[in-house]
Chains A and B, each alone.
Chain A
Amino acid sequence: MWLSALLAAVTVASGIEYQSDAVKAMQADSFGNPGLLWVDRGAELWKQKCTGCHGDVASMKGAAARYPRHSPQLGRVVDLEQRIQACMPGLAWESRDLLGLTALVARQSNGIPISVDVSGPAASTHERGRSLYFERQGQLNLACTNCHDANVGKTLLSEPISQGQPADWPAYRLEWQSLGSLQRRLRACYFGVRAEMPAFGSDDLVALELYLAVRAKGLKASVPGVRR
């Protein structure tokens, strides 16, 4: 019993493992991955606005694997989107500009194991995220863990249930026919259990993202991901 629990705990599998071969091929396509249409826009913006301070985008290598993290300047835990918004105020959530820049920066950490810091000022946010993960919500009265730990690999409306890992985001979701942020994906889960969706950028979503990143320790991202 404890052994299976331990195994479940160590075999961290990215969401792409639960997708069809066609979707896997789409994500792996270095030209045809539709998320690259957003990355192109991000690269254009980076050239125009970011090189002055940050130089080449390759300098961002490894940065995304450490997010969400506590920012001393902002005085709170922020995710990658919010860190970019702090640099460039006015970039709206789910805009092509913000998604493009986020995906471009996140992409620099492809293949680097996720490892976030939850010591010191980030500890309370981590705690909040963990309690949210195990808290039943919505009309269906489900917590994240009820699907993404207890029923991983089983099907929900013909779709396999993944572990709910945060790697590969922002990802192109075929249902959306667009790239979308991890926060958008989390809101979709809230919608799915008929709970009230937290606003984009809310502390609760960031806390949940931080807990998911802790849970995903060691997982390597492949941004932009593709999901059904």
Chain B
Amino acid sequence: MIEGRLRVPGSVKAGEPFEVRVLILHPMENGFRHEADGREIPMHIVTRVACTYGGREVFSVDLGTGISANPYLVFFVRAGQAGELKVEWVDDKGERGSARALVNVA
């Protein structure tokens, strides 16, 4: 499982954008580097991060080799009512990780 961290505000206003922050533990090896003895280091990157709110996808991003190790993503989501926010990520080896948080609407 690929570990990561997720932070959402404790309470948000209905209909107003709030900030979602995601930090993922991943080497993001771009495939262009070599070991000291010349061997290629194979590409190993997180390819997709998706966020669902109440089961519906509200944000997704396809990452490439230009993203540094341990990607840090910040994006905005609007909520009409309280629900569960879930962020999932998957890398090019098919390994997955996720984090979830409850969002309270004031």
B residues 7-40 touching A (CB-CB < 8 Å): 7, 21, 23, 25, 27-28
A34 touches B3 (CB 8 A): no
Which residues of B have CB within 8 Å of A36? 5, 23
Residue in A closest to B73 when the chains form the complex, CB atoms: A32
Which residues between 161 and 179 of chain A lie within 8 Å of chain B, taking CB atoms? Answer: 174, 177-178
Cβ-based interface call for B69 (8 A): yes
Q: Is the CB of B23 within 8 A of A32?
A: yes
| Interchain CA distance A225-B58 in the complex, whole Å | 34
- When the two chains form their complex, are residues A31 and B70 in contact, meaning their CB atoms are under 8 A apart? no
Complex CA gap A136/B28 in Å reads 38
Residue A204 at the chain B interface, CB threshold 8 Å: no
B5 contacts A37, C-beta separation under 8 Å: yes
Contact residues on B (Cβ < 8 Å of other chain), bracket? 10 to 19
Are A34's CB and B23's CB within 8 A? yes
Given contacts A34-B72, A177-B68, contact A40 B5 (CB under 8 A): yes
Q: Which residues in window 65-87 of B have CB below 8 A to A?
A: 68-70, 72
Whether A37 and B72, one on each chain, are in contact in the complex, defined by CB atoms closer than 8 angstroms, is: no
| Cβ proximity bits A16-60 to B, threshold 8 Å, 1 near / 0 not | 000000000000000110101100110000000000000000000
Please give, as numbers and ranges, the residues of chain B lying within 8 Å of A174 by CB-CB distance: 68
Q: Is the CB of A31 within 8 A of B5?
A: yes
Given the interface pairs A31-B21, A177-B27, the reply to whether A37 lies near B3 with Cβ below 8 Å is yes
Q: How many angstroms between the C-alpha atoms of A140 and B63 in the bound complex?
A: 42
Name the B residues within 8 Å of A34 (CB-CB).
23, 70, 72
Q: Counting chain B CB atoms within 10 Å of each CB, which of A34, A36, A178 scores highest?
A: A34
Q: Is the Cβ of B68 less than 8 Å from the Cβ of A32?
A: no
* Closest chain B residue to A172, Cβ basis: B70
Are B23 and A31 interface neighbours, CB within 8 A?
A: yes
Report how far A40 CA is from B23 CA in the complex, Å.
Answer: 12
Selected contact of B72 from candidates A32, A40, A178, CB within 8 Å: A32
Q: Are the CB atoms of B69 and A37 closer together than 8 Å?
A: no
Say how far A58's CB is from chain B's closest CB, in angstroms: 21
Which residues of A does B touch, CB under 8 Å?
Answer: 31-32, 34, 36-37, 40-41, 174, 177-178
A-B contact list, 13 entries, CB within 8 Å: A31-B7, A31-B23, A32-B21, A34-B23, A36-B23, A37-B3, A37-B5, A37-B25, A40-B3, A41-B3, A177-B69, A177-B70, A178-B69
